[in-house]
Structure 1
Amino acid sequence: MTDSLRFSIIVVSYNSSAFLPRCLEALQAQTLPRAAYEIVVVDNASADFELDAWRARYPDIRFEQFEDNLGFAVANNRAAQMASAPWLVLINPDAFAHADMLQALQGAVSDYPAVSMFSALQLSANHAGKLDGAGDGMMAFGFNYRMGYGHDMPQFLPVGEVFSACGAAMMIRRDLFERLNGFDEDFYIYCEDADLGYRARLLGERCLLIPQARVDHIGSATLGARSDFALRYGYRNRLWMYLKNTPWPVMILTLMPHILMTIAVMIKDALSGKGVIAGAAIWEALTNLGHIRRKRRDIQTTRRLKSLRLLKLLTWNPGKITGRGIDVKEMRQ
């Protein structure tokens, strides 16, 4: 690693060849000097990915391809091991960085040296003037959600504290990522970014939304937002995230609402013909709790965040999740 290298940008690809060039060319066009960042692309055994062709087309980018589809969590962890810089910037292949995104993130690192995790602002690539996400929120009842999704772009959005960052466009200090052992590889895909953020929060870390760091994001371009695949892992991983991370004092207050909200969502999915998938996912989660209990012990043993403080960070208004409300809190000193 050279002294000038500050950022390792990681892109995990899966059947993404239709939009990967636009993603990479946006990253190459950053206003930050090229020596300040590297780009690492790892592919999850895509049918449309020709490794040698990509290397020839973009010789200044590192490309690697796995023999099997390892999933988003494992692939990002492996890519992080390949990366060299002190900051890891995670970008989805269907997210297209504005030219000054890295410049804005570099400014945030200078302005907030005590912060180790940052969220970029996601604009909709399909609907001009609409948000795709302004960081991730966490309901007190254990449901994560992308804040601001579908909202009109506000005239002013301040730098502020959000619960966690969406994995489509985020930055995390390498040493924190390693301290957390990266994404939970049992999650495979979905909720792994919210889980990472939750665990960071429990260690006393903060996450800031940097509205000047922007990407245009298609979202669910490969797998589909409400596909059977997404439903299965969404239900399973959300329950695992809640059981693994929620301290007992908070769980006593929120377990019954969590159960009731889960039932309500399952009824809604059952009415659209997805009930069997939802039920099977919950069953899968509950019958594989041994490793979750072990992880919970480790997380709660090292937890530094007090339960009372966590209660203040969580979102209590159920309307926020249904309306995708923005819950950006004033920056604490």
Structure 2
Amino acid sequence: MPVLPSVAVVILNWNGKAFLEKFLPSVCRSTYGNLQLVLADNASTDDSVAFVEAHYPRIRVIRNARNDGFAGGYNDALQHVTADIYVLLNQDVEVEAGWIEPVVALMQEDPRIAACQPKMRAYLQPDEFEYAGAAGGWMDFLGYTFCRGRILYTVEKDYGQYNNASDIFWATGAALFIRSECFHQMGGFDRDFFAHMEEVDLCWRLQRAGYRICYCPDSTVFHVGGGSLPQGNPRKLYLNFRNNLMMLWKNLHSEDRWIVLVQRFFLDILAAVKSLVAGKPKDMAAIYRAYRDYYRWRRNYVKKDHLPEMKLMKMTGVFHGIMIWRYYFLRRKKFSELI
């Protein structure tokens, strides 16, 4: 019999005892035959590490010296984990017993599949897709991200409409399967991001390196979402805007960079004005801070990779249009209506 690829499920934790109590039992029921479980703790101040060490001796604990967010936390921890495939799993995700096997089988079909995600449904509304990943991530040519099954805040019910394995632009960081060799080849996540959009940036770089990103419908996980920062939090809005701009500057082809970023600037001004009119001045301030810090970052930016430039329109999982235009003005709020 062929040897199963070794898999390490690595859960990044920060003060997440309540989530660990609730969801670790499902992870420990995973049936994959060549599996290790790891808790990477980002300098928690609660007793979550003590809880895991007392109740789950099977789980290896890695203690990061400080909280460097999602990007830095995983980069540090994965330096100490040896496996063929890493599974980066949020602390607020419930899994089914056989959730690993289908994704690994799909990845084994083609060594160019560097990263993959399962179907992601909402823990609190299990018949619906979940915001963070749904049935795989896409992006439009201005850098606005969305999913099969979720566009902006419109989330579809799962009727089996996305039960086909497919190539996508990005795989969710809430349940990210990635070949360890590819992760380290790319230098891991970009630490400058801290949290949010770092998996989109990583998947973009993987595609530029010639790899594929895929969605596996035969595996389903259930995500609470907002475990660290809930939707509507100005801090989350700030990180999403700032990191998206940083990602575009890093990855866009030099011929397209200014064309895209100028259009984004005017659309983001509209978003800021809309927030103010809606009585959300903190959201407008978050967008302002995002641009301020993006420009500060850009002044000091030093290119970190030597990947070939690639036109965004030639990549997989890219919508050749403006998603927000079709969503707000043409009222196309489902993936099937958009693409």
TM over 0.5: yes
CA separation of 1:113/1:68 partners in 2, compared to 1, >3 Å: closer, same or farther?
Answer: closer
Structure 1 residue 54 corresponds to structure 2 residue 55: no
1:30 corresponds in structure 2 to: 30
2:289 corresponds in structure 1 to: 280
2:213 corresponds in structure 1 to: 207
**Paired residue secondary structure (1:63):** strand
- Post-superposition Cα deviations, 1:155-208, rounded to whole Å, max 9, x if no partner, equal 242000110101001111111101110000011011111111111111121111
Structure 1 residue 97 corresponds to structure 2 residue 125: no
Cα shift at 1:77: 0.9
Which structure 1 segments of 5+ residues have no match?
328-333
CA separation of 1:40/1:321 partners in 2, compared to 1, >3 Å: closer, same or farther?
Answer: farther
1:330 corresponds in structure 2 to: none
Cα shift at 1:306: 5.0
The answer to whether the 8 Å contact 1:204/1:304 transfers is no
Q: How does 1:34-183 map to 2 (within 5 A)?
A: 36-132=34-130, 133-149=134-150, 150-156=155-161, 157-183=163-189
CA separation of 1:56/1:275 partners in 2, compared to 1, >3 Å: closer, same or farther?
Answer: same
Structure 1 CA distance, aligned partners of 2:79 and 2:335? 33
The answer to whether the 8 Å contact 1:270/1:276 transfers is no
- Post-superposition Cα deviations, 1:241-285, rounded to whole Å, max 9, x if no partner, equal 111111123335433332232222222233322212211221111
Structure 2 CA distance, aligned partners of 1:291 and 1:42? 30
Structure 2 CA distance, aligned partners of 1:161 and 1:264? 32
1:262 corresponds in structure 2 to: 268
CA separation of 1:307/1:96 partners in 2, compared to 1, >3 Å: closer, same or farther?
Answer: closer
**Paired residue secondary structure (2:75):** helix
Structure 1 CA distance, aligned partners of 2:22 and 2:184? 30
Bigger CA drift: 179-188 or 143-152?
Answer: 143-152
**Paired residue secondary structure (2:232):** coil
The answer to whether the 8 Å contact 1:12/1:75 transfers is yes
Structure 2 CA distance, aligned partners of 1:164 and 1:215? 17
Structure 1 CA distance, aligned partners of 2:243 and 2:267? 15
Structure 1 residue 21 corresponds to structure 2 residue 14: no
* Count of equivalent residues: 319
Percent of residue pairs identical: 23
TM-score (norm 1): 0.88
**Paired residue secondary structure (1:116):** strand
2:225 corresponds in structure 1 to: 219
* Aligned-partner residue type, residue 228 of structure 1: P
**Paired residue secondary structure (2:36):** strand
Which structure 2 segments of 5+ residues have no match?
none
* Aligned-partner residue type, residue 73 of structure 2: A
2:237 corresponds in structure 1 to: 231
Structure 2 CA distance, aligned partners of 1:98 and 1:135? 19
Choose from 251, 260, 271 the match for 2:257.
Answer: 251
Structure 2 CA distance, aligned partners of 1:101 and 1:261? 40
TM-score (norm 2): 0.87
**Paired residue secondary structure (2:193):** coil
The answer to whether the 8 Å contact 1:250/1:311 transfers is no
Structure 2 CA distance, aligned partners of 1:209 and 1:326? 15
* Aligned-partner residue type, residue 141 of structure 2: A
**Paired residue secondary structure (1:15):** coil
CA separation of 1:221/1:312 partners in 2, compared to 1, >3 Å: closer, same or farther?
Answer: closer
Q: How does 1:281-300 map to 2 (within 5 A)?
A: 281-292=290-301, 294-295=302-303, 298-299=304-305
